[in-house]
Structure 1
Amino acid sequence: MDGLRTRGTGEAERLLEERTADVQRVKAEYDNYRKRVRRDRMAVREIAVGNVLTALLPVVDAVDRACAHEPLTPGLRDVRDTLRTQLGSLGLQAFGERGEPFDPACHEAVVHRAAPGAEGLVCAEVLRPGYRVGDRLLRPARVVVAGPS
């Protein structure tokens, strides 16, 4: 009788270990699934925000042109500031400054001017700012480049 009980206990322990391993494996698969879904949702959100911001860039350009060529009224200033604040909260970053090194990955050179004695290419003038969200380039900056001929 003792031999039977020992064999039954050993079988039960083996089954318990198998089921415990199965549960641990299913839990690990579920945790990986949740992480993958969270990562996919974030990627979809980033793409959607980038698409909306890209569609709004002509509006930003129009407001900037209006501010440059019209008297800056309180209403126009409020529209400009609110637009910049809201787009900035979504992660929109403008770039393209006079004097920064030219980078063909994020600058679009429209004109090249020879600059005697220059060591490298620099943005001499920014014709249209560029925009990015995080690491994603939405639009390159259009620049006039100065540097060695």
Structure 2
Amino acid sequence: MDADRLPDTDPARLRRLVGERTADLQRVQAEYDNYRKRVRGDRAAVREIAAANVLGTLLPVLDAVERTCAHEPPTPGLADIADTLRTRLGALGLERLGQEGEPFDPGRHEALVHHVAPDAHELTCTKILRSGYRAGPLLLRPAAVEVTGPPPPGKHKAVDARRN
């Protein structure tokens, strides 16, 4: 404050100034809180994407280890490598997708073979050809599957029409 200015002693004016400064301070504090939340969310998203990128590059390694374990008797060293790899990737959020018998979901599965079963009511995964994976909400790779289900609607009618 200037030494030449007399302090303002009008109580109504002082209350109004205090109210304005308080509102300004609350607004700045709210903006800062929103900024911190946004930065925290951005950091989490970057961390999630970085983990997904690393996990995606390691999927061929995991596939190779799984194929080796499926086709050869696992030695203690190979079993240890496979278990460690699965554990560490799982700790980073990697989840396997696709199990035999579950309903087909085009958001999680990629149907490579379709077997028709006239008595089926829905498409069902009958064989997992290659596991799919996700990291949190991010789909890294859909599961490649064989499905069994009812005939496609258009093909069933066309077959009946040819028989008549």
Say yes or no: TM over 0.5.
yes
Question: In structure 1, how many angstroms separate the alpha carbons of the residues matched to 2:80 and 2:34?
Answer: 47
Deviation of 1:7 after TM superposition, in Å, equals 5.7
Identity %: 63
Deviation of 1:13 after TM superposition, in Å, equals 2.1
- 2:158 is matched with which residue? none
Structural RMSD (CA)? 1.5
Matched residue SS, 1:79 = helix
Deviation of 1:8 after TM superposition, in Å, equals 2.4
Is 1:88 aligned with 2:90? yes
Deviation of 1:72 after TM superposition, in Å, equals 0.5
- 1:15 is matched with which residue? 17
Question: In structure 1, how many angstroms separate the alpha carbons of the residues matched to 2:22 and 2:62?
Answer: 59
Equivalent residue in structure 2 for 1:50, among 49, 52, 63: 52
Is 1:38 aligned with 2:40? yes
Equivalent residue in structure 2 for 1:123, among 102, 125, 136: 125
Deviation of 1:6 after TM superposition, in Å, equals 9.0
Q: How many residues align?
A: 145
- Whichever residue aligns with residue 106 of structure 2, its letter is P
Question: In structure 1, how many angstroms separate the alpha carbons of the residues matched to 2:8 and 2:82?
Answer: 82
Question: In structure 1, how many angstroms separate the alpha carbons of the residues matched to 2:131 and 2:22?
Answer: 59
Matched residue SS, 1:97 = coil
- 2:146 is matched with which residue? 144
Q: Is the 8 A contact 2:117 2:150 kept in 1?
A: yes
User: For each residue in 1:8-66, what CA deviation from the matched residue of structure 2 results, as whole angstroms up to 9, or x when unmatched?
Assistant: 23222221111111111111111111011001110111111111111110000000011
Matched residue SS, 2:10 = helix
- Whichever residue aligns with residue 78 of structure 2, its letter is L
Question: In structure 1, how many angstroms separate the alpha carbons of the residues matched to 2:135 and 2:51?
Answer: 9
Is 1:65 aligned with 2:67? yes
